[in-house]
Amino acid sequence: MKFGVVTFPGSNCDQDMVYVLETILNQEVVQLWHKDTDLQGCDFIVLPGGFSYGDYLRSGAIAKLSPIMGEVIKHANNGGYVMGICNGFQILTESGLLEGALLHNNSQKFICKNVYLKPATNDSAITKDLDVNATYQIPIAHGEGRFYADEATIQKLEDNNQILFRYTSKGGDTTEEFNPNGSINNIAGITNEGRNVFGMMPHPERAADEALANEDGKAFFESILAHCK
């Protein structure tokens, strides 16, 4: 599979993503610049974490206007795979490829720490090989990660099995105590109805190398490789 990792002004997780895909998982990776209008035949596009355009206006609101996003949207609408992590998730919601919005954390503070995630479904490529009864330790680093949508949208996401991950305790409890940012229903990641666009706030690419003493995130990418054709 050929991956394209987009760099926007202010991206800071693009090289982490390239390293994991290219070095850890031995995949072909193309580095795409935000002003490009050619996805170079990539099968899977990744919008990485960071602070695109300094998070001015709203996180992701300016990045969605970058030239490459027109091609990313076309790619997604044609069934191509797209994944947004942290700032990338914000860009996906601003672009309309995913529902809802990412608001300021309820603490009004930037949060950087390890959290636990529990897969909410096996009905998507990124979660198909994960254990829905297990939890995965994945880092977060964001100031605007509180997932929000109106009641009807939340119900739709729940009914359609579009919620990918929830914030939990190590043992899998989804109580408010283990919700780091105030996201509705502890939602940490969602997919679209077509299940080809994935968005999540935590950073699995920061937990995919044995040198970091945490490889929980590697399983997410291995599931993608096994089920994205």
Give catalytic residue positions: 86, 203, 205
| SS3 label, residue 136 | strand
The Cα–Cα gap between 118 and 157 comes to: 16
Q: Do residues 38 and 27 lie in contact, with contact meaning Cβ atoms separated by under 8 Å?
A: no
d(CA 45, CA 21): 12
CB-CB neighbours of 128 under 10 Å: 15
Strands of the sheet with 111-119, listed across from one edge: 28-33, 2-7, 44-47, 81-85, 197-200, 187-191, 163-168, 111-119, 136-142
